Structure 1
Amino acid sequence: MARPVWSGTISFGLVAIPVKLFHAVRRKSVSFNQLDERNLARIRYRKVNAETGEEVSDEHIVKGYEVSKGRYVVVDPDELEPFMPAVTKTIELEEFVDLDQIDPVYFDTAYHLAPDANAKPYALLAQAMEASGKVGIGRFVMRNKQYTAAIRAEEGRMVMSSLAYADEVVDPLDIEEIAGLDDVEVSDKEVLMAESLVESLSADFEPEKYHDEYREQVMALIEMRADGEEITTPKVAEDDAPKVIDIMAALEASVAAAKASRENHPAQRATKKKAATKRSSKKKAAAKKKTAAKKQADKKSA
C-alpha cells in the first residue's frame, strides 16, 4: 500500500484543495554490502580525523564549506536557521503555462497528487487544467527544502514534478563539442536518408518493452546462488561494432536493415497474411460471381 510522502493543500487565488503526495517512480537497483570474507560480518565505517587518524566524536564535528583548496569556512547551525524556508503545507500555484514551454531537462522527481478528503475541488481543477492544456507552476516546502514544481493534469488526475532551478541547468554551449556543431556541414541527401531511417524505426512508445537487464540478471544470479545452484559466468561479449567511415553507406544499410526487420516482425507477417487472405477471398468471390453470371446467360440463350 502506497504511503503519502507529504500532505497539504494546493492554493491558487482564494481556492485551497487538500492533497496528498505519493512517489510516482520507485527506483530499483542492486546494492551490495561490504563484508569480511572470513566470517561475512558487515564492514563498519568510523569518523576519523584525516590528519591524525584518530576517531572523532560527534561533539567535535562541525559544518564547514571549502572555499578553496584546504581552506574552510565553519558555519554554525544556528546561523543557518534564519535562512531555512518556513515549513508550510501549501503548494502555491503562481502561474499557469503551456507544457511545451518547459524544456524536459528541467523535470526532476515525479509525484502523484491525490485528493485528501473532499475530491470535488481536486477533480474541478484537474478538468479545468486539462481542458486549457495548461501546467501550474508553484512552490512548496518538503523536509526543510523549498522546491519549484510543475503540476499537470491527465485523464482527470494530477501529476507533479519538481523542477531544477535555472542556474542548475548546464548551458549546452558551455560544452565545447556541442558549441562546435554550427561548423558541421551535412548535405540535403544525407538529411533525407537520416529522416528515412528515423521514419523506418518510428513506433509508439511502449515503456514495458524496456527493462533494466543488468539488475534482472544480477538478481537471477543471486537467487541461483542462494539456492545453492552452480553458476557458469557468461563470457563478456567483445565490442566489435564497426567503425562508420561512409555515413551515406551506413545510413542506406541501416534503412534496409530496419525495413527487413519490420517485414520479418510477427505483427507485420500477420498483417500481410491477413491482407493476402482478404485478396484471395475477393478473387474467389469475383470468380463465383462470374460463374453465376455465365450460367444465367447460358439459361437465357437456351
Structure 2
Amino acid sequence: MAHMIWKGAISFGLVHVPVQLYPATLSEKVGFNLLDRRTIDPIGYKQINKRTGKEVARENIVRGFEYEKDKYVVLSDDEIRAANPESTQTVDILAFVDAPDISFLFLDTPYFLTPDRKGEKVYALLREAMKASGKIGVASVVLHSKQHLAALIPVGPMLALNTLRWADEVRDFDEFKLPPESMKAAGVTARELDMAKKLINDMSDKWDPSQYHDTFRDDIMALVERKIRAGKTEEIAEIEAPRESRRTADILDLSDLLKRSLGRGKGKSSAARNHAADDNDEAADAGTGPTAPARKKPSAARSAGTSRSGGKRGSASATAAPAAHKRHAAA
C-alpha cells in the first residue's frame, strides 16, 4: 500500500472534499550503491559543514532562507506550517479549464487523491461533474514546504492531482533556432507532407502503457543475474570498446527517405525490419549484397520530430494518464 503523504481537503466554492494524498507512481529505476572497491563495503553519505569540513548531526540541521549573500533567516517546519496553515492542507481550486488547454510541457509529478472519512459522496460528485463537463481544475497546493500550481484531473474512478510547472519554469520557444511554421518557408512540399502523414497513420496505435517497458533495467538485471550465477559478483569484467559501425551517407532527398519508411509497419517488428533493411542497404551500397543497384546511399540514422501547434508551448490533453515525470516536489 502506498504511503499517505498528507490529508486535507479539496476546496471549490463553499464545498470541501476531505481527501488523502498518495504518490501515483512507483520508481522502477536501477539503483546502485557506492562501494569501496577494495573491500566492497558501502560508502555512506555525510552531511558536511562547508566552512569547517566537519560532519553535522541530523538534529542540528535546520532550514534557512538566504536573504542576503551568506545571511540567512532560520525557519523550522512548524514555523513554515504556521505561516499559512490553511494552504498547507488544502487543494484550493482556482478555476476550471478545458483539458486540452494545459500543455503537456507544464505537467510535473502525479499524485492520487482518495476520499477521507465521510467524503465519499462529495468526492464522487466532484469527479462525475468534472467528467461530464470535460473540465479539469487548476489548483494551488503546498507540498513539502513548497507551493505548487496543480491540475485536478478525473481519471477513471480516481481524482488525480498533477503538479504543474510555473510559467517561468518552461522555456520560451523564442530561445531556440527553429524552422519556420510555414510549410513553404520551411521548404516542405505538399507531396512530402502527404507521405509523412501517411507514415504517421501507418504507425498509429491505441495508447497502451503496458506495451512499453524499461529495457535498460531489464538488461542490467540480466547482467546482475549472470554475474551471481557465475560467482563473479565482486569482479569487474574488461569490456572491449565496440567498433563503430559504418554509417552510410545522409539522404539528401527527403522524399526518398519517406518512401523507404512507408510500409514498414509499427511496433517491435518494425524496429527489427528497419534494422534488417539498414543492413541490406549497407550491403547494397558496398556492392556485397544480392543486388546493388546504383542509387543514392541511405541514411543509417532516422530522426523523428514532432510538430508544434500554432500556440506558444503547444498544448496536449491533460486527461490522458497524468505524466509520471521524474521530478518530485522539492523539499
What is the DSSP-based 3-state SS (H/G/I as helix, E as strand, rest coil) of the residue aligned with 1:258? coil
- Greater displacement, 72-81 / 119-128: 72-81
Give 2:71's match in structure 1, choosing from 61, 71, 74: 74
Where does residue 13 of structure 1 map in the other structure? 13
1:1-302 mapped onto 2 (5 Å cutoff): 1-44=1-44, 47=48, 49=50, 55-56=53-54, 58=56, 72-78=69-75, 86-87=84-85, 88-118=88-118, 119-175=120-176, 177-178=177-178, 183-228=185-230, 236=242, 238=244, 242=248, 243-258=250-265
* Change over 3 Å in CA distance of 1:10–1:49 after alignment to 2: closer
More helix by share: 1
Q: Is the 8 A contact 2:64 2:75 kept in 1?
A: no
What is the DSSP-based 3-state SS (H/G/I as helix, E as strand, rest coil) of the residue aligned with 1:76? strand
Percent of aligned pairs with the same residue? Answer: 31
Q: Displacement of 1:189 after TM fit?
A: 1.0
Where does residue 284 of structure 1 map in the other structure? none
* Unaligned ranges ≥5, structure 1: 266-302
| C-alpha distance in 2 between matches for 1:9 and 1:190 | 53
Q: Which amino acid aligns with 2:84?
A: A
| C-alpha distance in 2 between matches for 1:245 and 1:206 | 35
Q: Displacement of 1:3 after TM fit?
A: 2.1
Q: Is the 8 A contact 1:8 1:89 kept in 2?
A: yes
What is the DSSP-based 3-state SS (H/G/I as helix, E as strand, rest coil) of the residue aligned with 1:257? coil
- Greater displacement, 89-98 / 239-248: 239-248
Deviations 1:79-101 (A, max 9, x none): 99689962431111121110011
TM-score, normalisation: structure 2? 0.66
Deviations 1:232-282 (A, max 9, x none): 9798584556433221100000003338x68x99xxxxxxxxxxxxxxxxx
Where does residue 296 of structure 1 map in the other structure? none
Q: Is the 8 A contact 2:66 2:73 kept in 1?
A: no
| C-alpha distance in 2 between matches for 1:3 and 1:61 | 25
Q: Is the 8 A contact 2:36 2:42 kept in 1?
A: yes
Q: Is the 8 A contact 1:137 1:150 kept in 2?
A: yes
Q: Displacement of 1:207 after TM fit?
A: 1.3
* Change over 3 Å in CA distance of 1:145–1:55 after alignment to 2: same
| C-alpha distance in 2 between matches for 1:126 and 1:41 | 51
Q: Displacement of 1:62 after TM fit?
A: 9.5
Q: Is the 8 A contact 1:4 1:22 kept in 2?
A: yes
Q: Is the 8 A contact 1:172 1:179 kept in 2?
A: no
Structure with the bigger RCO (C-alpha within 8 Å, sep 6+) is: 2
- Greater displacement, 110-119 / 97-106: 110-119
Deviations 1:275-300 (A, max 9, x none): xxxxxxxxxxxxxxxxxxxxxxxxxx
TM-score, normalisation: structure 1? 0.72
Q: Is the 8 A contact 1:62 1:74 kept in 2?
A: no
| C-alpha distance in 2 between matches for 1:146 and 1:247 | 48
Q: Is the 8 A contact 2:65 2:75 kept in 1?
A: no
* Change over 3 Å in CA distance of 1:156–1:39 after alignment to 2: closer
Q: Is the 8 A contact 2:112 2:159 kept in 1?
A: yes
| C-alpha distance in 1 between matches for 2:12 and 2:63 | 41
| C-alpha distance in 2 between matches for 1:61 and 1:101 | 40
